[in-house]
Each structure stands twice: as C-alpha cells, then as structure tokens.
C-alpha cells in the first residue's frame, strides 16, 4: 500500500500553517493566477514560498492549483514565469484541468509532478490510463464515482496515485462540465468564477404543467459530502490521497475537519478495518464545523438519489466560532555530541527519517581552570525552545578536563540545526527547460461543410430532407435506423459522461464514419479498443481552449475537434480552427448531472423523461434524462444562434459548421435548417423573430 495522505485546503498562509499542525500530510492552495477559486484570498509567490518551506520542514507537501482553462495570450504570455517561480520555490505538484497546461508542464518542467484535477471529470480506468500514459502521477477522481469504480481504476493503474474528495461542498454538476454560471451570468466556473446558480431556488414542472416541488425548491443544491465512516473501504479501494474541500472556508473549519480525519486515518492504520468505528460525537463535531442541511455519502455507494439534495435554502450552518489550538508540531531528533580531547567538537542531529544536520568546531584543548561537565554540554545543546525541533534522545561522548565554552556549544548547535533545516526545507533541484512561444499557424480560407447532430428519429427524418447536410451524428441507439434514412456521413455521438458500468456495453458500429468523443474516459476507451484516431472528433466538452491543447491532442493522434462555447470571436482569431467544428446553433448544455432531478421530483421511470425548471427570472430550462447512461442534461432556455455573425465566423476558417439539435421538434428543426441554408448557402439576409442568444461570441468570459 502506498503511504496515505490527508490533503487539506488553505486559503491563506495562517490557515496553511494551522492545518499542518492539525495533522495534514499535504496542503493545496491557489496562487494569484489561474486557480479555480478566483474570489479566494489566495497566496502571493512570497507567501507560497514561506508556506512550501514550512511544509517541507514538517514533512508536508504543497500543491498549487492551476486548474482553470487558459486562453492563448495567458498560456503564451504569463504561464511560464508563473510556474517557474513555484518550481524554483519547491512546489511538489501542480493540479491542472486544461490539457494545454498539462502538456505545457510536461514539456518545460518535466520532472515536476502533475495531478489531473477533478475538473477533468475522470470516472473510469480508461481516462486514468490515458493520463498515466502521458505522464500524470495522480488523478483526482470525479466526485460522483463509487468505491467500486475507484477500485477498478486502481486495479488497472496500480502505480497511479488516486486522490478523492472526502469532505466538503459538492457540485451538482460533474466538475468541469458546468456552463450555467458562465452562460446565465458571465461568471465561468471553468475560469474560477462560479456564481453557484445551483444554490438558487427552481420550480419544476412536468410536460402537463404540473408542479413537482413536493420537498422544496432547492432541487439542484447538494448537501455537503462526508465520508468519515467509509475511510477503510476507500483505502482498500486504492485511494491514497484524501482531499478535503474548502479553500474558501475559515480557519476553524479547516483545522477542525483535518483533526477529525487525521484521528480516523490513524485509527485505521493502527487498528485496521475490523476495529474501525466512528463516534457520534465526532460526527457532531464535523456537523458543527459546517454543513448544508446535513451530510451525504451517497455517491460512494449509489449512483444518485434525493437523499443528497437539500431541497431547502442551503445556508452553510455551523456552530460556535471556537478555534481549537494546534501548537506547532515538534520534530523529534536524536542528538549525538562528540567532545573528545584533541579532536573537533561535533554536534549531530538526526530525525526519524534519517535526515542529518551536523556542525563541527575547533580542536578541543585541555582546561587550565574549570572544565566543562557533561551537564554543561547537555544544557547548552538542548536549548531548542524557539525552533520546531525537540530532542528525544541525547548521547554525549566526552572526556573529563576539557576546555569547552558554552558559546562554542551553542554556536555548533545552531549551525547543526540550520544544516538540518536546509536539508528538510530544500527541495530536489528540478529541471526547467527554456520557454519557446508557440507560433500561430496559417489559416487558409476554405468553405466549411455542414455537420449536424440529432437526438431523435423525428429529427433525423427532417434533417435527411436537406441535402446540404454532409454529416450527421446520432447516439448509438439511433444509428441503425438513421443509417436507413440519412445518406451522408454518419457518426456516433458518445455520451457526455461515461461510467464504468456502461463502458462495457458501449457498442461502436463498424459502419459508422466516426465518433464524437465527449470525455477523456471515452478517449481512453477508444484507444483501448484500437479505434482509428482519425475517425475521432473531440467534442466541445474536451475544451480545446488554446493552441497548446490542440498541439497536445494532435501529438496524441487526435486532429479533429469542436470549438468550446466560452471563447469569443476575438479570442478565436488567435486559435487554430482549421480542423475544428464550430457550433453555430444549439440549446447550450449548461449542466450534466449524475443526480437525477427528474427522479428527485417525480420518481424514476427510466423513460428519458423531460421536465422544465423555472428560475427566478421566469426562464424555462429543460432538464432531459439520458436513461441509457443515467445522467441529466440541463439546457439553456434560449436558443444559441450565430447565423447573423456569418462573416465573422467564416473569417475564423473553421472546417465545419455544426448545428446541434436536442429538444427541438420536427418543425423547429426544419425552420432552423432552412434559415441556415438561406444565410450560409443562399446569401440571404438573416431574419429570425424569436429571442435567442449569441452566448460568449461577443462578450467572452474573464
């Protein structure tokens, strides 16, 4: 078994030091750039340097979150110097989401560890193996997966470290798959600025207009996660790093939660799983540190369920502000002193891991008056009160009648402690390769082809009547019937999320012209199946946000991709779009959730039901069940359409213009395709009387 690690968040330097003394084995924090908590206080580089040194002194590792999506000017302009400063200051690993950033670190800082963030939505052994083969040392699993699913990842990748969340706030959406805050309010979760619209009230209605809110209106608000009772099962499944959520939380929360989990991880290590039990008073302590309508551990054993939703206003309740004191941990040392006549005076300190600090002084001479006693030496060498060290064992080898001033002993003691401190704090010098700015490619002007996706047979029949549609993608279950109707190129659109139980059932018809892969798990599975890479299109969910990500995917063999929703037209001018699809019509998928809002409000029927959520502004959001793969998709109330930006879009030189149909009926499909034909093929003026959105094409995200 790999060494277990209790991983704590820290929002500032004070909290960092406090959680180290409360029992954390590692601490993660954000710097002043590129972190997923942009509104947290975060660390300056100088504060981070002090934190890293303090951690290393106490045998604690430090991880920096660089877990947002980066635009081309950021990744080419600021990232290298930013990361370089942390590598030079001894950071132990970077936590990343962006595939371009992942490859950037592997290229320029090749022996600095990279941990793949939970924002990558990794659910299976296939996604884990994909990143392990590219040099990741650790993955952070999706919060939605079960203990059994974790064990399957570990069985496939036994050398890969697995980090899983054990306590704190949950997102209702698969992390990294949420665009709701971005689309509705302009604050992108993928850029660290989530406004948490999931914590707001929503009314739910069935197709007949019947209200479904029997338990309350906070139907997207999860309770907080607490896994204290499942630690033995998680350990035995292969989790090695146990992650507490909460970089925005206060000191009393961080230290309190760390101390409780520290106790129970040690309980397991000392007593084993058979004698493991959690006291009610410790559950109450965790509740008192903060909770949202109680706790849930549901995902560890079940796919979903209403038990994990608050249904009421999700205020983060907590008890008193009393802070438990955790004095600085003392590092126990063995001390050996050699004070022999005619030889150098020598002091040696050794910690329990074999690290040694030593210092020598002048040759010892015979005393002409009062000689140094063993008690004198012991008292002077033991004065470690202002340090984080304490002497556990003291061995003094000395001769009688020697001249040894107290000042000499103290100076040697200080020098030996300084030597040991430098060895503990100092990190192994890591490789830093010179930076080369990535040049933008040329953008030849070509007429893009038309690519459409559909989710129903009714849509397929309507699409087939428009002969300008060169390619169509449908879910697996529609492929055979669609093949009989549509004569152009036909692709399979893989699910937004792939879980282990469905991976073995995934059938890819050999007659398909290719697939759209929506997740790293699917890329790993396709590679495991030896599926031809040139037939794979990377969906917008794989976030080719910058040219570094495009370059990384191309190096891995994937050349075709779809432009993500959050880039503006201005930003897309600096992106290489020659092999890209660009979505110009859709209902933007704003959330993909394992927890089923339909099941939680009206019960599970396994019949791909749809319901409507109505928000505070009276906008109607469609919630669509995908019962084949057991997840919900929440779509924006407004249609996303960019037909009136024809000239700007064509100026970006995309390979394909893509139209995604999801909840539309045949009439809407026909209307949209006719409008597209008029504008893009017949050069007619754009005329559309209904309300629609252009997403981020004009406004972008910060």
Residue 499 makes CB contacts below 8 A (sequence gap 6+) with 123, 124, 145, 149, 303, 629, 630
Sequence-distant (6+) residues with CB within 8 A of 100 are 70, 75, 545, 546, 547, 548, 549, 550, 551, 552
Confidence of residue 248 (pLDDT cuts 50, 70, 90): confident
Q: Residue 650's Cα: distance from chain center in Å?
A: 34
Is 449-498+506-588+637-693 a CATH 3.20.20.70 domain? yes
Q: CA 434, 437, 442, 447 torsion: positive or negative?
A: positive
Structure-token pair, residue 334: 């063995």
Q: Which of 417-426, 438-447, 491-500 is least confident?
A: 438-447
The rounded percent of the chain whose pLDDT value lies above 90 is 86
Residue 442 above 80 pLDDT?
Answer: no
pLDDT attached to residue 16: 96
Q: What is the DSSP letter of 229?
A: G
**pLDDT band, residue 415 (cuts 50/70/90):** very high
Structural element, H or E, at residue 393: strand 389-398
pLDDT in tens, 76-135: 999 999 999 999 999 999 999 999 999 999 999 999 999 999 999 999 999 999 999 999
- The pTM for the full model equals 0.94
In the 8-state DSSP scheme, what is residue 324? -
Helix (H) or strand (E) holding 452: strand 449-453
The residue-averaged pLDDT of 603-618 equals 91
Angle, helix 45-57 to helix 79-88, in steps of 10 degrees: 30
User: 69-79, pLDDT tens digit by residue?
Assistant: 999 999 999 99
The CATH number assigned to the domain with range 5-170+224-303 reads 3.20.20.70
- Report pLDDT digits (tens) over 203-212: 999 999 999 9
- The pLDDT confidence band at residue 319, using thresholds 50, 70 and 90, is low
> Cβ–Cβ contacts within 10 Å for residue 667, how many?
10
| Amino acid 2: pLDDT | 65
**DSSP letters spanning 584-638:** EEE--EEEEESS-HHHHHH---SS--EEEEE-TT--EEEEEEETTTTEEEEE-SS
Indicate the burial class of 436 (C-beta count within 10 angstroms; 0-12, 13-18, 19 or more).
exposed
Q: Give the residue-averaged pLDDT of 376-391.
A: 92
Under the banding of pLDDT at 50, 70 and 90, the label for residue 441 is confident
Q: Are 632 and 624 in contact (CB under 8 A)?
A: yes
Please state whether beta strands 536-538 and 514-517 pair in parallel, antiparallel, or not at all (unpaired). parallel
pLDDT in tens, 103-116: 999 999 999 999 99
Mean pLDDT rounded to a whole number for the chain = 94
Share of the chain above pLDDT 70, in %: 97
Question: Which residues pair with residue 334 across a beta bridge?
Answer: 350, 393
Domain spans in the chain, listed from the N-terminal domain onward: 5-170+224-303, 331-425, 449-498+506-588+637-693
Encode pLDDT of 452-499 as tens digits: 999 999 999 999 999 999 999 999 999 999 999 999 999 999 999 999
How confident is the model over 341-369, as pLDDT tens digits?
Answer: 999 999 999 999 899 999 999 899 999 88
Average pLDDT of 326-355?
Answer: 94
pLDDT band at 323 (very low <50, low <70, confident <90, very high): low
Tens of pLDDT, residue by residue over 30-52, are 998 876 565 667 799 999 999 99
Structural element, H or E, at residue 518 = none
pLDDT for the residue 40? 62
């Amino acid at each position: 078994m790999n060494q277990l690690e209790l991983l704590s968040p820290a929002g500032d330097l004070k909290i960092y030091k406090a959680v180290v003394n409360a029992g954390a084995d590692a601490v993660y924090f954000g710097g002043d750039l590129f972190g997923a908590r942009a509104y947290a206080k975060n660390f300056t580089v100088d504060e981070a340097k002090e934190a890293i040194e303090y951690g290393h002194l106490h045998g604690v590792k430090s991880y920096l979150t660089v877990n947002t999506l980066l635009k081309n000017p950021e990744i080419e302009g600021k990232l290298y110097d930013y990361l370089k400063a942390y590598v030079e200051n001894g950071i132990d690993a970077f936590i990343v989401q962006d595939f371009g950033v992942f490859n950037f670190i592997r290229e320029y800082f090749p022996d600095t560890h990279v941990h793949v963030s939970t924002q990558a939505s990794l659910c299976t052994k296939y996604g884990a193996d994909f990143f392990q083969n590219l040099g990741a040392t650790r993955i952070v699993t999706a919060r939605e997966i079960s203990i059994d699913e974790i064990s399957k990842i570990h069985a496939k990748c036994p050398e890969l470290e697995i980090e899983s969340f054990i306590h704190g706030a949950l997102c209702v959406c698969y992390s990294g798959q949420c665009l709701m805050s971005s689309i509705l309010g302009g604050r992108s979760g993928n850029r660290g600025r989530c406004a948490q619209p999931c914590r707001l009230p929503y009314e739910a209605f069935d197709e007949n207009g019947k209200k479904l809110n029997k338990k309350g209106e906070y139907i997207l608000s999860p309770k907080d996660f607490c896994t204290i009772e499942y630690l033995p099962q998680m350990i035995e499944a292969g989790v090695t790093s146990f992650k507490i959520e909460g970089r925005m939380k206060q000191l009393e929360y961080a230290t309190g939660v760390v101390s409780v989990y520290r106790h129970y991880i040690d309980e397991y290590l000392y007593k084993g799983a058979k004698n493991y039990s959690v006291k009610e008073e410790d559950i109450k302590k965790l509740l008192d540190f903060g909770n949202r309508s109680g706790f849930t551990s549901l995902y560890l054993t079940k796919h979903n369920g209403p038990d994990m939703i608050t249904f009421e206003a999700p205020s983060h309740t907590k008890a008193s502000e009393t802070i438990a004191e955790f004095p600085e941990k003392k590092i126990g040392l063995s001390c050996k002193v050699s004070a022999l006549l005619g030889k150098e005076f020598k002091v040696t300190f050794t910690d329990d891991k074999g690290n040694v600090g030593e210092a020598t002084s002048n040759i010892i001479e015979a005393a002409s008056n009062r000689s140094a006693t063993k008690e004198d030496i012991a008292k002077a060498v033991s004065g470690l009160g202002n340090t984080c060290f304490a002497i556990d064992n003291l061995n003094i080898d000395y001769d009688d009648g020697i001249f040894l001033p107290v000042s000499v002993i103290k100076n040697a003691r200080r020098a030996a402690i300084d030597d040991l401190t430098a060895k503990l704090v100092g990190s192994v010098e890591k490789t830093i390769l010179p930076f080369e700015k990535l040049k933008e490619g040329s953008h030849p002007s070509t007429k893009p082809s038309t690519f459409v996706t559909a989710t129903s047979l009714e849509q397929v029949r309507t699409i087939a009547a428009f002969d300008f549609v060169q390619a169509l993608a449908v879910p697996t279950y529609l492929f055979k019937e669609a093949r009989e109707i549509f004569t152009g190129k036909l692709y399979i659109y893989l699910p937004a999320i792939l879980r282990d139980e469905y991976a073995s059932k995934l059938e890819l018809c050999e007659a398909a012209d290719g697939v759209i892969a929506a997740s790293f798990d699917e890329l790993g599975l396709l590679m495991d199946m030896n599926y031809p890479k040139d037939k794979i299109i990377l969906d917008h969910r794989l976030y080719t946000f910058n040219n570094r990500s495009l370059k990384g995917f191309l190096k891995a063999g994937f050349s075709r991709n779809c432009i993500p929703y959050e880039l503006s037209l201005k930003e897309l001018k600096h992106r290489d779009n020659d092999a890209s699809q660009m979505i110009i019509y859709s209902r933007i998928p704003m959330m993909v959730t394992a927890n089923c809002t339909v099941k939680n409000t009206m019960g599970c029927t396994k019949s791909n039901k749809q319901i409507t959520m109505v928000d505070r502004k009276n906008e109607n959001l469609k919630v669509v069940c995908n019962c084949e793969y057991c997840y919900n998709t929440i779509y924006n109330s407004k249609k996303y359409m960019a037909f009136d930006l024809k000239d700007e879009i064509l100026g970006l030189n995309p390979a394909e213009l893509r139209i995604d149909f999801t909840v539309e009926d045949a009439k809407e499909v026909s209307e949209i395709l006719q409008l597209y034909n008029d504008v893009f093929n017949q050069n007619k003026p754009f005329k559309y009387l209904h309300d629609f959105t252009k997403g981020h094409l004009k406004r972008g995200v910060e």
